Structure formats: C-alpha cells, structure tokens
Structure 1
Amino acid sequence: MLVDSHCHLDFPDFEAERDAVIDRAREAGVGLMVTISTRVRQFERIRAIAEAYGNVYCTIGTHPHNADEEAGIPAEELVKIAAHPKVVGIGEAGLDYHYDKAPRDLQAQGLRVHIAAARETQLPLVIHARQADEDMAAILEDEMGKGAFPFILHCFSSGPELARKGVELGGYVSFSGILTFKNSQEIRDIAKTVPQDRLLVETDAPYLAPIPYRGKRNEPAFVANTAAVLAETIGVTQEEIARITTENFFRLFTKVPREAMKEI
C-alpha cells in the first residue's frame, strides 16, 4: 500500500464528498493520508477530520503564505498542540519567493519557530520551499547546528543543490504530481539522485494533479500515478516503490503506528 504524505483534506474542494475521496484513496491502494495544516488558528478543522477517519493523520503549522497573519505564534504553542495523538508533524512552514505573499523576514522567522518545535518534539518538519533554495539551505544548515530535527522537503520543485543539502542534513524528499509533467525532466533527474531510503510521495491535493489528471482537482487516490512515475524514473517496480516509500514514511513519521496500515 501507498501513503499520501501530504494533502489538504480540510480545503473546501473536498467538503461535499470527503467520505468518497477517502474511500477512493483506499480503493487505489492508499492506506494512509496526512492532511497538512496551513494555519494554526484553523487547527480545529484539521483535527476534526483526523479524528473522524482512522487512516488520516495531521500536522500543525503555518504556511509561509500566512506567515504575517500568524506571526508571533510561539514554538511552545505548536509543541502543546502537537501532543494530540493524531498530530504527527510540524508545518507546513518554509519560504516561498515565487508568490511572496508574506514578507520574507516573517517567512524566515516563522520557519525558525517551526524548526524549534520540530527539534523539541522530534516530529518531522514539513518544509515548503519555492524559489528560495539558497536561503532555505542556509537556514537548515544553521538550525541543524543548534540541534538535530527531522524534516521533509515536500512537493520538491527546487534545484539539485537543495536536494543534495537536504539529504546531507538528514532530510527526506517528497515528490508530487509535478514529477509526472512532461516538462519536469529536471525534477525526474533530481529524483534519481535522492537515496532510495529518503524518498516519499504525495499529492498536495487538491493541487498539482498528476498526468493523466492534470488540470483537474487532485485527490489522494492519484498518488498512485506519481508513485508509478517515480518507480519508472529510478528503475524499480511499482510494488517496490510502494514498499520503499511506505517504509520511509514510517521511519520519518515515527508517531504514526505501523499497525495503522495493517488495519486498513
């Protein structure tokens, strides 16, 4: 079975048919899903979804787009919320210089706060990085020097140097539907360089639906399409990529009980 390590089941896109979306994921062989927080102040919505479905877990954090909106939330608050049994990660947080929806200094400040929470809880930090490779690598290296923390570079669309640095610092790299796009050869080339024990797959649903669904609403079931392309890219079978990425998921997201997959 596969794991969708990053989706947004609380978004309005799924409101009318969330049960059906989760059923379709199960039918497609997707045993577990992690629905990702983008606003700490909207955590109750995320928590309700994770509590309602046995195969759904969640995170707590502030997306860089909302860094100004939620500036000042301390690491201690993230740590406290992360004590909930269904919260298995911190984030997503990071740097987005493509849209620049929040001032860059506040994005960086927020990222460091989330790192502090990840360091204290030892829950993986889900990192959003877009067109900010040098600054992201510098912050990760600086913060890792203060004490180790687990992390994942989600929906990887950056350059080879950030992938290399992330792996060097002990991080994982997750690939989304972008991997399947015709014009994404550079991303596929990067995927070949990532050690197999650091690879994960995700949808980032409702965004970035993989081929052949590109342009439509994405959903967790479609992670199977991305996994198939990743398998072809690195030269393994689809069964093997499912085993590899699921094993990596449990190694990174240590709070998720392995029994959760067996019960699906």
Structure 2
Amino acid sequence: MLVDSHAHLDMYSAEELPDVLANARAAGMNAILSIGIGHGPAEMHKALYLAKEHNTPELNLFASAGIHPDEAANADDATLDKLRALLDDPLVIAVGEIGLDYYHVENPPIEVQKRAFRAQMKIAAAAKRPIIIHCRTSELAIPAAKEKFGPADAADDLLTMLETEWAPTGLPGILHCFSGTVEHARRALAIGFYISFAGNVTYPAAQGIRDACVTIPEDRILVETDSPFLAPIPLRGQRNEPAHTAITAKFVAELRGVSEETLRMKTTENFERLFPSTHWRGHHTTA
C-alpha cells in the first residue's frame, strides 16, 4: 500500500515505461498520479493518455493537467480551453502542477505567472478539482534571478494568492515537493492543503524541509517522487522512478517516529480522501 502523488510518467520513453511501472508494482505501490505538464502546454494531454493505456487493477494510474509557471507565457485562451476539455475526463483528478517560480532568470515576469496561475485556479474551481502547487522559495533562486525578480518571494506571493483567491472555494490542494519553511506549511495547512514530500527531504542540506515535515498532521501528509527528478539518497543523481517512493516513505516514517507501514497507510488514506474518486479503484495490498 503506497501512492506516488506526483510523477512525470510522460518523461520516460515508451521502452522505459513498462519496466518503471513493473518496478512500482514490485515496490508495493497501488497508485500513481501522473502529472500532465509535459514539456509545455502542447503536451499536457500525455499524462491522461498514459494513465488510460497503462491502468491496471494492481496499479491505478490517474492524471492531472496544467500549465507550469515556467510556461506561463503560453497560457493563451486556446491552451486554457484545452485544459478545460481535459478536465471532462474523470481520470484527470487535479489541475497542476501550477503556481509561481522565480528561480530561473528566464522565467516569465511575475505578473505573467500570476495571470496564468489565477486563470487556472478559476478553471479548477469551476471543475471542482483540487490544485497541485509548484513553488520554489526565492531563497533558492540563482543570483541573477534574485536580481531580476527583486525582493519578491515566490512562496509568500503564492500563499497570499491561495489565501485570498483559492481558499474561498473550499477546495483542497497539494503543495508538491515541499521546499518551504515551517511557517509556509502552517499557512498552507490553515487553508486545507496537503503537504507532499519528495526525495529532497533526504538531502543533507534540507534541514528546513525536515523541520517542516515533522510538524505536518498525519492526516495531511503525502509522499511523492517528482520522478524522473530528485532521486532520494542513496540514489541521488540517478534517474528517479515511482518505486523510489518507498525510500522516501521509509525516511519520512523514521523522521516522524512512526512505522513505515503506518506512514504508507496514512499517506494512502490521505490521497484517497483528497481525491475521493480514487478510493474505489484501489487494489490494496500490504507491503
């Protein structure tokens, strides 16, 4: 019993994917949420196609669709209409990953990112879908990006938008690959968000992430890979894959002082509470 709440299955080749999914089944996983951003909005449908093609009773695949903040300049009317159309499929259970990112100097201007984020929040609210949030705090940004984006902080800007524009919908969401502070987590939890931890929680320099991890209520925590990126230690630097959710889950369980079995069970329950349509599909086995 284990769910990878965030994986980019469309970034594996057609030759790689069958083995990746077989490895996930062998690791005791019962579900993967395949994130539909592709290499740009023109590919946001691919996650859904893969979920339909490879779904099995033993390993349930679900999809999201969204426009990454790096691609915010491409969030035109036609692209937003495509997103709306994808949400007609019940396998597309979330909008994402969406948000704000001031990490790279080539990222779109802040107002362009905010406009795309706001438009997608409105689409998600109309479709009654949770949102999956991408955000890197500006403390992590390269110097040139800090100079470009000035004193603005992506995490603070994003949380303020969520508090004022998303919270009134009453719908939940996920802060994916959490890289913020205890205070960032507190603000997100206060408006009904779930916090998802990826392989970077295992990295030596990530003490701030670990500090936040131990504060998350057991009914709001998720685990993920963000694969093929961010492989956990001891695999850091290698290609990541959903099976490695088990490594992160074990690490998080030890960090929080609970059994691995409990962490697997709680994160699976949380995923199914967040996405009720996934519950009946699960083929749960204890691993």
Measured against the shorter chain, the TM-score band is over 0.9
Following superposition of structure 1 onto structure 2, how do residues 11-30 of structure 1 map, counting pairs within 5 Å? 11=11, 13-30=12-29
Structure 2 CA distance for aligned equivalents of residues 15 and 234 of structure 1: 37
Structure 2 CA distance for aligned equivalents of residues 240 and 262 of structure 1: 14
2:111 to 105, 115, 118: 105
2:195 to 170, 173, 181: 173
2:214 to 188, 192, 212: 192
- Cα offsets for 1:174-232 (capped at 9, x unmatched): 00001111221211110111111100000000000001110000000000000011101
Residue 61 (1) aligns with residue 83 (2): no
Q: Structure 1 residues 45 and 76, CA, compared in 2 at 3 Å: closer, same or farther?
A: closer
Structure 2 CA distance for aligned equivalents of residues 259 and 160 of structure 1: 34
Q: Percent identity?
A: 39
Structure 2 CA distance for aligned equivalents of residues 122 and 229 of structure 1: 33
Structure 2 CA distance for aligned equivalents of residues 129 and 66 of structure 1: 14
**Deviating more after overlay: 184-193 vs 114-123:** 114-123
Q: What secondary structure, in the 3-state scheme, does the structure 1 residue paired with 2:156 have?
A: helix
Q: Structure 1 residues 108 and 261, CA, compared in 2 at 3 Å: closer, same or farther?
A: farther
Residue 44 (1) aligns with residue 45 (2): yes
RMSD of aligned alpha carbons:
1.8
* Aligned equivalent of 2:124: 118
Q: Structure 1 residues 261 and 40, CA, compared in 2 at 3 Å: closer, same or farther?
A: farther
Structure 1 CA distance for aligned equivalents of residues 175 and 65 of structure 2: 16
Structure 1 CA distance for aligned equivalents of residues 168 and 191 of structure 2: 13
Contact 2:2 2:264 in 1 (8 A): yes
The structural deviation recorded for 1:146 is 4.0
Q: What secondary structure, in the 3-state scheme, does the structure 2 residue paired with 1:152 have?
A: strand
The structural deviation recorded for 1:258 is 2.9
Q: Structure 1 residues 17 and 160, CA, compared in 2 at 3 Å: closer, same or farther?
A: same
Q: Structure 1 residues 261 and 14, CA, compared in 2 at 3 Å: closer, same or farther?
A: farther
**Deviating more after overlay: 158-167 vs 218-227:** 158-167
Residue 82 (1) aligns with residue 87 (2): yes
- Cα offsets for 1:159-183 (capped at 9, x unmatched): 2221110000010000000111122
* Aligned equivalent of 1:6: 6
Residue 232 (1) aligns with residue 245 (2): no
TM-score normalised over the length of structure 1: 0.94
Contact 1:94 1:127 in 2 (8 A): yes
Structure 1 CA distance for aligned equivalents of residues 169 and 22 of structure 2: 40
Contact 1:118 1:149 in 2 (8 A): no
Q: What secondary structure, in the 3-state scheme, does the structure 1 residue paired with 2:283 have?
A: helix
Letter in 1 for 2:88: A
Structure 2 CA distance for aligned equivalents of residues 73 and 229 of structure 1: 43
Identify unmatched segments of 5+ residues in structure 2.
Answer: 138-153
Q: What secondary structure, in the 3-state scheme, does the structure 2 residue paired with 1:133 have?
A: helix
The structural deviation recorded for 1:47 is 2.2
**Deviating more after overlay: 252-261 vs 201-210:** 252-261
Q: What secondary structure, in the 3-state scheme, does the structure 1 residue paired with 2:177 have?
A: coil
Residue 91 (1) aligns with residue 90 (2): no
Letter in 2 for 1:50: A
Structure 2 CA distance for aligned equivalents of residues 40 and 93 of structure 1: 12
Contact 1:133 1:159 in 2 (8 A): no
Residue 248 (1) aligns with residue 254 (2): no
Letter in 1 for 2:251: V
Identify unmatched segments of 5+ residues in structure 1.
Answer: none
Q: What secondary structure, in the 3-state scheme, does the structure 2 residue paired with 1:193 have?
A: coil
Structure 1 CA distance for aligned equivalents of residues 67 and 283 of structure 2: 28
